[in-house]
Amino acid sequence: MALKAVSIWGYSKVPPPQLGAGLANSHPTPIWNQRYDFDKCRRWECCCLGVSAQRATTAVEDEEPNVPPLVESSGAADGVHQNESKGFHKDINQLPKPLTTIDISSSSSSNGSKVRVAFQGLPGAYSEDAALKAYPKCETVPCDNFESAFKAVELWLVDKAVLPIENSVAGSIHRNYELLLRHRLHIVGEVQLRVNHCLLGLPGVRKEDLKVVVSHPQALDQCEKMLNDLGVVKIGARDTADAAQTVASNCARDTGAIASSRAAKVYGLDILTERIQDDDENITRFLVLARDPIIPGTDKPHKTSIVFSLEEGPGVLFKALAVFAMRDINLSKIESCPLKQRPLRVVDDSNQGNSKYFDYLFYIDIEASMAEPRAQYALGQLQEFASFLRVLGCYPMDTVL
């Protein structure tokens, strides 16, 4: 766990009593701010990595969409084979149930004997794969939704959370961007996970026997070519792991699921075929969230994630981006979120939330460490005309797929 003496700082032109009041003198000066002109830095406020979201505009693999219920199988051999396959996965009822908000409010924290990592979805979800890539020996904790995972970390029920932030095919998950501002967590790492969609079925079933395929709507879209060739009916599910569990529980031999190879092991299904996605370069990026920031270094490539808002005016965004270009700092991501006429509750380091109005929020990932003077100077210049600025986290880049 990182030292609490090191903080991540953000900046706001809002007067101190409204945001971060009284915090300026209660936290030690961060290591990377020692080179700064302290007169310019008096109004930097301590931020606890937060960021935003009231609702996602893009559905994601592990997020829960509105989908119709699974129709009953119409296969002629259902009656014979259902009895043979009942209890096919004997331990389905013993799998951990996802945490809900009610569970979190009534649970006690972990004893810390093992790293506990929260993820959204059921066991076998891609998010669990990402958690195990980040922490191979961790205890994974399924959560019912994204916000439950945030709260589980805040309330010390788990040590970390691993949540998706963008997919190379489907785009960004805006819900998690907004939740970062609404909660007091820091980005301490990232995970790049190559998606390998597999077609799963009960043992002994061939893919030609399938009449129905169940999965998250996004996974169905990403495997459209193969599904069209099979001529199957496509039915949406909450997530890919839920689809695998449904097939295993219902013992429907004419129904398959699109999910991960891990889901096949968890639910006792056969992999009928794998790598069925239309785009082989299907990669999901996940963020690792923790209660405390890490001390940034320069021994390996780092990213720094920030969010800021600007006053309206000609060339203002150009000026904001120029502070990085003139220092040879590469931007690996830029995302804009329009929030006109919609207040956003932003939580500061004292866990006090204030509703603020932004025309746009800009989320940027820069390929530089906050331990580097060039990154410090860039943010120092950006604060001069940004109406709001917060550092969400500085963390090592994941360069291994």
> Which residues are annotated as catalytic?
284, 286
**Can you tell me the distance from the alpha carbon of 299 to that of 397, in angstroms, rounded to the nearest whole number?**
12
**Can you tell me the distance from the alpha carbon of 145 to that of 132, in angstroms, rounded to the nearest whole number?**
19
Helices (H), 15-145: 38-41, 78-85, 101-106, 126-134
Got the DSSP string for 186-253?
A: EEEEEEEEE---EEEE-TT--GGG-SEEEE-HHHHHHTHHHHHHHTPEEEE-SSHHHHHHHHHHHT-T
Nearest alpha carbon to residue 156 among 119, 113, 121, 108: 108
DSSP type of residue 309: E
Nearest alpha carbon to residue 375 among 339, 326, 337: 326
Count of CB atoms situated within 10 Å of the CB of 42 = 10
Q: Tokens in use for 215?
A: 């999965």
Is residue 63 within 8 Å of residue 120, measured between CB atoms? yes
**At how many degrees (to 10) do helices 146-154 and 174-182 cross?**
30
